[in-house]
Amino acid sequence: MRYTNLFVPTLKESPAEAEVISHQLMLRAGFIRKLTSGIYTYLPYGLAAIRRVESIVREEMNRAGAQEILMPMVQPADLWRESGRYLKYGPELLRFTDRHERESCLGPTHEEVITDIARREIHSYRDLPVNLYQIQTKFRDEIRPRFGLMRGREFIMKDAYSFDIDDKAAEQSYRAMHDAYTRIFSRCGLDFRCVEADSGAIGGSFSHEFMVLAETGEDTIAVCTACSWAANLEKAAVLPPRQKNIAAMLPLGEVETVGKKKVATVCEFLGIPTTALAKTIVFTADGVAVALLIRADREVELVKIKNYLGVQELRVAEEKEIFDAVGVAVGYLGPVALPIRLLVDQEITGMANFTTGANRKNYHLVNVNPNRDVLLKEVGDFRRIDGDDPCPSCGGPLQLIQGIEVGHIFKLGTAYSETLKAYYQDQNGNEKPLVMGCYGIGVSRVVAAAIEQNHDKNGIIFPVPLAPYQVVVLNLATDDDELTAVAETIYADLQAAGIETLLDDRGERPGVKFKDADLLGFPYRVTVGKRFREHGMAEVVRRRDGRSEACAPAELAGFLGDRLSGGSD
């Protein structure tokens, strides 16, 4: 491709709306332009990068035995009603009616449609296993789109769905996808981790997320530095307390704590560490008030509580709701004689003589002891794991790092096949539900994540497999016939050698070309300018580290071919 024919509107300055580096660079490098909030046009260069990711995804999905299909984006509401998700999915699902007043929605995901296909077309164990995937634009009416392609409302996703005869076979399919994903992200040149994850709204029995490590990641993951364990923070299991506080139980007492409502002020007032205080937090779980007792310095993990309770909606209750349910003002809540359901974080079982609210305004209880003063009926793991906690798998030290979720695989089981009645007949003629799995990759997000992970102050540093062009040839003397001929020959040679090359044949000054080359992130840059006339060698510079080498034009194709296939980039 010639630069003069390429539509890449680059920007010197980054638009004010861009917060994170990948968004800034994608705007500056002419990848995308925004149409409206969370919705972007992919310009040629950005699309080319997306296509690179897509082709890696396709190759690996096909290699893993999956077959590509393409499902409709517009879907009938009735199908979503049938699965129960028309109501459950919430406002993220964009609903509308067509000219015949038929209710419809834009597909945020395709479990319903694929299960509909499956129930119509798969009838026998002989048809199984099947794994179907598509690469398609999804629409989710996100509450808050942000960071450009990182969290758009429209985004390109690869989603795959597997169908098996039983759990065991489904786990094999799951494993195959896990391996395919590992290959995909490795081939993209990304630094990533596969972590245990919450299966969330899609439902299902277990799942893993693939996280690209980057400081701007919206998720935090816990990684063991000693073994291979890693998990999303919201999922990471906390080990039960190692040792019990075996101090003799002191008599329960009530102390006046007028106006002391916050953990910090109560502890300061009573002269105790926050680890000796237990806070009582009230939640509204599908409209019902539920309390949690947890050590005061700990963070509550809402997802764990939500999963334990099996509710749809869980949020911290508002002050009025709390007062209505408990009859006590926030700040003096406690577990003793609490009139609502009480969950207890497991850590409490190891504590003795701790302080809590007294369920009476301006009073706290001291020397509260489990079982003597509070019956611990529902004990569980409800707190968020901490960087100081031991690895739940091996006990080793943990590290908390930020990640961008680029892939998520779920073992769905029979949740959808049963509600949508997708059955097959086994060898004995028995009707059984298909056992499903689903597997997503945020294709457009992968490009954003790759840039987050691969850039410097001058611009993008594309990993070779994702680069739209592996090499840019800069002709610095477009008005010089001799040098232009050299650049043209190099360009032709590289193309003939199968290397995707961009020839910068613009009449711009050298500085402009260098800056654009850096910004656009070509892995290798070949420069033909007046220095060429001095020694007859073209300059080859590697973007990642700026390493410069000289090479005779005739040898360039082989020279670059070696480096590009060497995998050192």
Q: Which two tokens stand for residue 87?
A: 């109501």
- Between 359 and 475, CB nearer to RNA: 475
| Complex with RNA: residue 36 or 427, whichever CB lies closer | 36
**Of 125 and 410, which has the nearer Cβ to RNA?**
410
C-beta closer to RNA: residue 357 or 468: 468
Centroid of chain to Cα 383: 22
H-helix or E-strand spanning residue 208: strand 206-213
Q: In what order do the strands lie in the sheet with 341-345?
A: 314-316, 278-285, 288-295, 341-345, 378-380
Q: What is the closest distance, in whole angstroms, from the C-beta atom of residue 146 to RNA in the complex?
A: 4
Residue/partner pairs of 422-430 with CB below 8 Å, 24 or more apart: 422/115, 422/118, 422/119, 422/122, 422/163, 423/119, 424/122, 424/123, 424/124, 424/125, 424/127, 424/128, 424/165, 425/123, 425/124, 425/125, 426/125, 426/165, 427/125
With respect to RNA, which residue has the nearer C-beta, 165 or 449?
449
Q: Which is nearer to RNA, 408 or 563 (CB)?
A: 408
CB of 186 to RNA, least distance (A): 16
Q: Residue 397 CB, nearest distance to RNA (Å)?
A: 25
Query: How many Å apart are CA 400 and CA 86, to the nearest integer?
Result: 36
Minimum separation from the CB atom of position 161 to RNA (A): 12
DSSP 390: B
Q: Least CB distance from residue 51 to RNA, whole Å?
A: 16
Q: What is the DSSP string of 458-507?
A: TEE---GGG-S-SEEEEES-TT-HHHHHHHHHHHHHHHHTT--EEEE---
Cβ-based nearer residue to RNA, 34 or 178: 34
Say if CB 508 and CB 479 are below 8 A apart: no
Q: Which two tokens stand for residue 228?
A: 């291979």
- Buried/exposed code over 196-214 (b: 16+ C-beta within 10 A; e: otherwise): bbbbeebbbbbbbbbbbbb
* Gap between the Cα atoms of 532 and 81, Å rounded: 69
- The residues of the shown chain that bind RNA, judged by CB under 7 A, are 10-17, 19, 28, 34, 36-38, 92, 109, 140, 142-147, 150-152, 155, 157, 200-202, 209, 218-219, 302-303, 315, 405-408, 440-442, 444-445, 458, 476-477, 479, 507-512, 514-519, 527-532, 539, 541
* Shortest distance (Å) from residue 520 CB to RNA: 9
Tell the smallest beta-carbon distance from residue 424 to RNA (Å). 26
Question: What DSSP state is assigned to residue 277?
Answer: B
Nearest CB to RNA, comparing residues 295 and 445: 445
Helix (H) or strand (E) holding 133, with range, is: strand 130-139
Cβ(170)–Cβ(161) below 8 Å: no
Which residue is it, tokens 């499956």? 118
- Distance in Å, CB of 455 to RNA, minimum: 13
Q: Select 321 or 508, whichever has its Cβ closest to RNA.
A: 508
Pick the closer one to RNA by CB: 354 or 382. Answer: 382
Residues 6+ apart with CB under 8 A from 358: 254, 332, 334, 336, 364, 365
CB of 534 to RNA, least distance (A): 8
Amino acid (one-letter) located at 368: V
Interhelix angle 44-63/443-453, nearest 10 degrees? 110
Task: Output the smallest distance, CB 199 to RNA, in A.
Answer: 9
